[in-house]
């Protein structure tokens, strides 16, 4: 199985008529994803290589039965785009856009939780989600993934880092290990989907037998995930924490990747995960090697 999205997921691209939205929308369709619509109120009634463009998400949902949205709208318009998606009737919204103001993120995160609890938000500032061989929403390269094999020992991946998400997928493919779903949750301060959300879903998925987790400095998400793993996970986990040499007080890449007041350090996160029974690698390749060892023992 996969989590959150699969071969039945129908996706509308908000921003399909822009250069990035068009490129990845068509690439995702080529991968096999059901990209059924785009939105642009100024270009409604047109199409992008056979993908119809509608004035709104609501119109697209009514006409195509879309269940998910992928947002490539520029940062100032993301808040409205997220709400348009939720109000339009989709239940999964992936926001690829980076640079979304933190106060906008906090606003629509809480608005969705209060008024649209059935809607799962992924991102902002994330690579998206891929269930290899079934559905790819976002910017992950499909060719670096290995499809999960029924009856085999398959792995789920959850990551805050974009680039390291790709490396994790490649490391497992190189070892002939299939992946049920890879979720890039993004590195912004207010992610719509958390490590714990994904860990809980992987724990419940019968075809996911182990989980690879990629974290980074800043915040307390990894420590919270460690508590969840210790209390609620029966499946083994390997992990890597990026930013082990980052100086305190310096923002490193992602908006959420900052160490302050002695909190959010890589060392503290690694210690918490190790204490929860997680196999923690000193670099991404070692985290992959640890997962190979885990899979061999399953």
The catalytic site residues sit at: 254
> Within its chain, how far is the Cα of 53 from the centroid?
25
Q: What phi, psi does 204 have (nearest 5°)?
A: -85, -15
Q: What phi, psi does 162 have (nearest 5°)?
A: -70, -60
The alpha carbons of the chain give a radius of gyration, in whole angstroms, of 19
Question: Are residues 189 and 120 in contact, defined by beta-carbon separation less than 8 angstroms?
Answer: no
Residues 6 or more apart whose Cβ sits within 8 Å of residue 129: 4, 5, 94, 122, 135, 136, 137, 138, 140, 181, 182, 183, 184
User: To which H or E segment does residue 294 belong?
Assistant: helix 284-297
Q: Which residues of 232-246 are buried (b: 16+ CB within 10 A; e: fewer)?
A: ebebbbbbbbbbeeb
Question: Are residues 156 and 202 in contact, defined by beta-carbon separation less than 8 angstroms?
Answer: yes
Place of tokens 């991102």: 123
Strand 128-131 versus strand 135-138 pairing type: antiparallel
Question: Are residues 138 and 31 in contact, defined by beta-carbon separation less than 8 angstroms?
Answer: no
Q: What gap in Å lies between CA 282 and CA 268, rounded to an integer?
A: 13
């Amino acid at each position: 199985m996969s989590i959150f999205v699969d071969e039945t997921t129908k996706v509308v691209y908000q921003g399909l008529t822009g250069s990035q939205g068009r490129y990845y929308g068509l690439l995702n369709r080529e991968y096999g994803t059901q990209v059924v619509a785009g939105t642009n109120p100024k270009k409604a009634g047109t199409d992008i290589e056979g993908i119809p463009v509608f004035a709104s998400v609501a119109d697209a949902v009514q006409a195509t039965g879309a269940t998910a949205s992928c947002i490539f709208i520029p940062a100032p318009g993301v808040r409205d785009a997220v709400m348009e998606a939720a109000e339009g009737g989709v239940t999964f919204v992936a926001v690829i856009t980076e640079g979304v103001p933190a106060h906008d993120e906090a606003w629509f995160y809480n608005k969705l939780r209060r008024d649209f609890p059935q809607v799962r938000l992924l991102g902002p500032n994330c690579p998206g989600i891929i269930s290899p061989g079934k559905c790819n929403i976002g910017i992950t390269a499909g060719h670096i993934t290995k499809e999960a094999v029924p009856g085999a020992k398959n792995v789920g991946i959850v990551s805050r880092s974009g680039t390291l998400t790709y490396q994790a997928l490649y490391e497992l493919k190189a070892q002939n290990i299939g992946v049920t779903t890879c979720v890039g949750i993004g590195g912004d301060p207010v992610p719509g989907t958390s490590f714990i959300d994904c860990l809980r879903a992987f724990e419940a998925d019968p075809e996911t037998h182990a989980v690879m987790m990629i974290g980074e400095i800043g915040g307390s998400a990894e420590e919270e995930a460690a508590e969840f793993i210790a209390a609620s996970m029966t499946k083994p986990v390997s992990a890597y924490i990026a930013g082990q040499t980052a100086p305190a007080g310096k923002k490193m890449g992602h908006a959420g990747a900052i160490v302050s007041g002695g909190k959010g350090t890589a060392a503290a996160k690694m210690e918490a995960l190790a204490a929860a029974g997680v196999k923690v690698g000193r670099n991404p390749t070692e985290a992959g090697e640890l997962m190979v060892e885990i899979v061999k023992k399953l």
